[in-house]
Amino acid sequence: MAINDIHTPVLLERCIELLAPAVSHEGAVLIDATLGMAGHAEAMLERFPQLTLIGLDRDLDALDIAQERLARFGSRARFVKAVYDDIDEAAEELGFPQVDGILFDLGVSSLQLDRTERGFSYSQDAPLDMRMDASSELTAETILASYDEVALRKIFWEYGDEKLAQRYARRIVEERQQRPLTSSGQLVELIDRATPAAARRTGHPAKRVFQALRIEVNAELSVLEAAVPRALDLLRVGGRIVFLSYQSLEDRIVKRELQARAKSTTPAGLPVELPEHSAELKLLVKGAELATEAEIDENPRAKPVRLRAAERLRRPA
């Protein structure tokens, strides 16, 4: 099956529309900070023949697929194995201290979800891995085997918004004293048994626990908190950035940084705005933009997406 048949980029046309004013000129540089299977990247390179694209990903499998998919673009496509909090270093090493556009398509990729052996999905039995970078040491199995009840409860509550965090954490600690938890099937069964019928909400009860484990394994939120300001600082004046977030914790981090930089910091009471205190960014969408029903029908993975975008107005003093 062709890669295009199994991977539909989320909000592709909207991303292109928002980034186009910044990347349609000769010599433009765009960073795809979460390259994945390169659906967004391929479309950008096709639409803008003068564009150079830098693709970042921590997943070697994704990079291999992306390099094959984008091979026809030659040197216009550059590839870096990196986590996106190293976005500024990656760009500078390639000779680009500033860039014109940046795209973040956050969360777990189609490749990672669809490959059962990666252990990201609660719907198929697989080893409890969940690493986006297979060379990393921490796995979901390690967390479940070594974190104490308090630590497990904390990540289920904070990263999964799981109301039954304490119950699940206690059951996991009890279970591992009898047998190690090594597969997603075991964990799903445990959660299913531990969930009272009255507490079952929409969706599978394991969904939030798996999300929390994945975030912890890959340090997704701490990485994003570091990456957003570094990415914004990379943008030249007139440059644009687009974020696609898939859960509220990601979106909150993005929203906080964008809104802070889109406000004037001129001290209250001054009769004029000081240029060095004027807003660094202009927000390009009102609030967080959601996928349309038509988009969701065509690509169900777009359902939870929240899009935010901004344009750089000035460089920091």
126 assigned to a ligand binding site: no
32 assigned to a ligand binding site: no
Residue 3 is predicted with a pLDDT of 53
40 assigned to a ligand binding site: yes
112 assigned to a ligand binding site: yes
Give the predicted TM-score (pTM) of the model: 0.91
Per-residue pLDDT of the chain (317 residues; tens, 9 = 90+): 355 555 689 999 999 999 999 999 999 999 999 999 999 999 999 999 999 999 999 999 899 999 999 999 999 999 999 999 999 999 999 999 999 999 999 977 665 555 655 667 777 889 999 998 888 999 999 999 999 999 999 999 999 999 999 999 999 999 999 999 999 999 999 999 999 887 776 668 888 999 999 999 999 999 999 999 999 999 999 999 999 999 999 999 999 999 999 997 777 767 676 676 789 999 999 999 999 999 999 999 899 999 999 999 998 76
With tokens 């990601």, the residue in question is 250
105 assigned to a ligand binding site: yes
With tokens 């497990």, the residue in question is 152
- Residue 86 phi, psi (nearest 5): -100, 20
Q: In what order do the strands lie in the sheet with 99-105?
A: 77-81, 52-57, 29-32, 99-105, 235-245, 306-312, 281-283
Domain with CATH 3.40.50.150 in the chain: 3-105+220-312
CATH number of the domain at 116-218, please?
Answer: 1.10.150.170
Domain with CATH 1.10.150.170 in the chain: 116-218
CATH fold for the domain made of 3-105+220-312: Rossmann fold (3.40.50)
Residue 116 is predicted with a pLDDT of 58
57 assigned to a ligand binding site: yes
